[in-house]
Structure 1
Amino acid sequence: MKTYVALLYSIILGERRRVVMADLKAMAEGIGLKNVRTLVATGNLVFEARTVKIPDLERRLEMAFEETFGRHVDIVVRGAEDWLKLAAGNPFPAESVDTADQVAVRVMRSPAPVEAVAALHSYAAEDEKVASVDGDIWLVFSRERPSSRLLAAASHKRMGIGTSRNWNTVRRLAEMVGSGQ
């Protein structure tokens, strides 16, 4: 058995309807995943499964999600070692200590296009930062403005399939997979 992290792109099912984490956990257990845990109510799963190709696991989860909740949602899966490597590769450690909720990583299914990441710099305000590490996109965004242009620019349409998590969530998921919780 191997430990995995799965991140849902969205848990919004429709007007005023969100996925309840207990239901998400039950869905994962229903397709044979073991030791399933969730983290916060934003669509984060940690579980164990037989060693399998990541794309196959993503498809299984997406099909089960659509069957259970009636809506397709992109799901990005990483093995525990890859998740720990992602967390260790945070290019903004100082900012993560000071403002962890303003540091985020867009975890990509496939590496983000180099030219698309380069274009993100034009959307960054003076106090915002962008970095690409192993195809994932790390951002430091500002809360000084009501809406960061940088966050909006790092979308599916421009970057490809991926989903963002702030440093607090990345760190807590790393703790979960690192300790085998």
Structure 2
Amino acid sequence: MKTYIVLLRGVMPTGKNKVPMAQLRQVLSDDGFNNVRTWVQSGNVLLKTEQTATKLEKYVQNLIKKYIGPDLAVMVRTGAQLQKVLEENPFQEGYDISRVFFVSFKTPPREILTC
């Protein structure tokens, strides 16, 4: 089994994108995922599965839509992928690390042409 970090985009504590973490953990556990853990009301999940990352993204998106309601974008990453982002951060020395943020795209962005 492989450990994945599942990131849900647009989770809100109230309103149309509300995803209660206890309910999310239950839905994922009931569906056979192992060691399901969530982080506060963030929409971040850690779990173990035999599925590939690509299949897991769509599968979790469908489970959330079916059992909880919101149709959210889902990104799946490994710990090694996130560690690489942190290690390759160009803003390390001379920067307040608590003020440095990163963005992870589901797919690579299109090249932007500038004039």
Is contact 2:11-2:42 (8 Å) kept?
Answer: yes
1:66 is the counterpart of 2:69: no
CA contact (8 A) 1:13 1:69 kept: no
> CA separation in 2, counterparts of 1:99 and 1:87?
11
> Which has the larger share of strand?
1
Please list every run of 5 or more consecutive structure 1 residues that lacks an aligned counterpart in the other structure. 119-181
- Maintained 8 Å contact 2:17/2:70: no
Contact residue 10 and residue 17 of structure 2 kept, 8 A: no
Greater relative CO, 1 or 2 (CA 8 Å, sep 6+): 2
1:1-150 alignment runs, 5 A limit: 1-12=1-12, 15=15, 18-50=18-50, 52-94=51-93, 95=95, 98-100=96-98, 102-115=99-112
8 Å contact from structure 2 (residues 18, 70) kept in 1: no
User: Displacement, 1:21?
Assistant: 1.4
Sequence identity (%): 27
CA distance in 2, matches of 1:66, 1:113: 28
1:30-61 CA-partner distances (Å, limit 9, x unpaired): 221111111232110111111x3322110110
**Structure with greater proportional helix content:** 1
SS at match of 2:108: coil
Partner residue, 1:163: none
RMSD, aligned CA: 2.3
Kindly report structure 1 stretches of 4+ aligned residues shifted beyond 6 Å: none
TM-score, length-normalised on structure 1?
A: 0.55
> Residue type of the partner of 1:83?
L
CA contact 2:3–2:46 (8 Å) conserved in 1: yes
- Superposed CA offset, 1:94-145 (max 9, x none): 43xx251x322221111122328x8xxxxxxxxxxxxxxxxxxxxxxxxxxx
